[in-house]
Amino acid sequence: MITALAETRGATQELVAPLSDAQLETQYTPILSPLAWDLAHIAAYEDLWIAHRHGGEPLLRPDLAAMYDAFETPRPLRGSLPLLDAAGARAYLDEVRARTFDVLGRRGEAGGRWRGLWPRQRDGTLVELVLRHEQQHAETMLQALELARVDGYVPVRRDPLPFPPRGAVADDPLDLVAVPGGPCLVGAPAAGFAYDNERPRHRVDVPAFRIGRRPVTNASWLRFAEGGGYERREWWSDEGWAWKEEYDITAPEGWSGDGREWRITGWEPLVDAAPVCHVSWFEADAFARSLGARLPTELEWEKAATWDQGTQPEATLGQRAFAPAPAGSRPGSASVYGCEQLLGDVWEWTASQFDGYPGFRAHPYPEYSEIFFGQRMFVLRGGAWATAARVATPTFRNWDLPQRRQIFAGLRLAADA
């Protein structure tokens, strides 16, 4: 666990290393934080859960607790507070980490499970929670960088840019695979780490359906846009149309209008076969309607994401390539039903609103998931190239408002059988 903590911290530091202090301290958009806030928030969260709650120590910086609490200080306010500067945030991270190692070492728990910590949920570990929290904030920081179009940011690519499809790949968003009806188990098993909203695992009866073999591509989206996708009222929900009109939305976030898109490092030609990215739920819904299809429910998605022997297939994850792999370039990712690239590349919007599974119990705190239930947030599944492999499991549930486009999110289509 110590190794995993250190590796995660190394990755976080590598991600922000190319940025100047001024870039770290700027709030580029009210829907995301200044990156220096994320860094200090990672430290505050770790200190709260490890040294304070678990180790019984006083907080290292009680004066900062409210400012770096995600709920007490909503995102729009974060740019106007007397936040720690970049150097201060780095020092805070270092000091907290020293306390973490001290507490873990003292309790002799650095490598083991902390049974009994959550009486109802004995399989969780606080270290795992803290670790994944940092990894998820790394993805949030990448969202901010991409949305802000920070010039000259060059990340360390561990994998080459995604390879082209092997052979010709039919680019058809309506290439759907059939999934038979019948009962299946959804949610995370009782053993091992999982978030509260993935539990309890339960049996559902999903009627037969069809679902996209691959994610929807840029080429398909271009056909939608050029075919009046953003002008045909009948393809849009009332709410989606109102949002599109108010913000004059005519293409995915990051598209230039002349065949290029902003990727993390700058303007690049649109890759036809790449999964479309940075579309809102409203846009995804309109795209599906334009083809007489719909988005899959999250239970359909999870059923389609079934692999043999509990193994996970190859996937573009973990901030290694800094781009999604083209649709069709990962035949080894096929699930039992033949769905490819369910994990990685881009998050996939589903038709389902975020809510608790039957028998849900909050842990370790209601603010992780429960306060978002019933808020008309839509569920995304599968993770993106920017998501840590540890986080992107077939049962992991992400959620956001239907108008949001900062997520590395696309879609695949579905239809009734």
Q: Which stretch binds Fe ion (CB under 5 A): 64-72, 144-152, 219-227, 334-342?
A: 64-72
Instruction: State the number of CA atoms in the 13 A half-sphere of 20 facing the CB.
Output: 6
Of residues 376, 377, 378, 381, the one with CA closest to residue 412: 381
Question: Least distance to Fe ion from the beta carbon of 289, Å?
Answer: 35
CA distances from 277 to 102, 180, 324 (A): 42, 29, 9
What CA–CA distance (Å, rounded) separates 45 from 133?
8
What CA–CA distance (Å, rounded) separates 141 from 135?
10
Q: Binding string, 362-381, against Fe ion, x = CB under 5 A?
A: --------------------
Query: What tokens appear for 41 in the block?
Result: 């928030």
Scan residues 11-40 and list those touching Fe ion (CB under 5 A): none
Q: Which stretch binds Fe ion (CB under 5 A): 62-70, 150-158, 195-203, 252-260?
A: 62-70
Question: Least distance to Fe ion from the beta carbon of 130, Å?
Answer: 10
Query: What tokens appear for 114 in the block?
Result: 């902390």
Phi-psi region of 187 (alpha: psi -120 to 50; beta: other; left: phi over 0): left
Nearer to Fe ion, 72 or 239 (CB): 72
Size of the site for Fe ion (CB under 5 A): 1
Q: Which stretch binds Fe ion (CB under 5 A): 65-73, 115-123, 340-348, 361-369?
A: 65-73
Nearer to Fe ion, 132 or 263 (CB): 132
CA distances from 233 to 240, 247, 298 (A): 10, 15, 26
Question: Least distance to Fe ion from the beta carbon of 30, Å?
Answer: 17
Question: Least distance to Fe ion from the beta carbon of 134, Å?
Answer: 9
Exposure letters 253-269 (e unless 16+ CB within 10 A, then b) = bbbeeeeebbbbbeeee
Q: Name the residue whose CB lies closest to Fe ion.
A: 70
Q: Which stretch binds Fe ion (CB under 5 A): 63-71, 278-286, 366-374, 378-386?
A: 63-71
Cβ neighbors of 37 (< 8 A, separation 6 or more) are 27, 68, 78, 83, 89
Nearer to Fe ion, 70 or 415 (CB): 70
Scan residues 67-96 and list those touching Fe ion (CB under 5 A): 70
Nearer to Fe ion, 4 or 70 (CB): 70
Question: Least distance to Fe ion from the beta carbon of 152, Å?
Answer: 27
Question: Least distance to Fe ion from the beta carbon of 42, Å?
Answer: 7
How many helices (H) and strands (E) the chain has is answered by: 9, 11
Nearer to Fe ion, 70 or 184 (CB): 70
Question: Least distance to Fe ion from the beta carbon of 133, Å?
Answer: 6
Q: Give the binding site for Fe ion (CB under 5 A).
A: 70
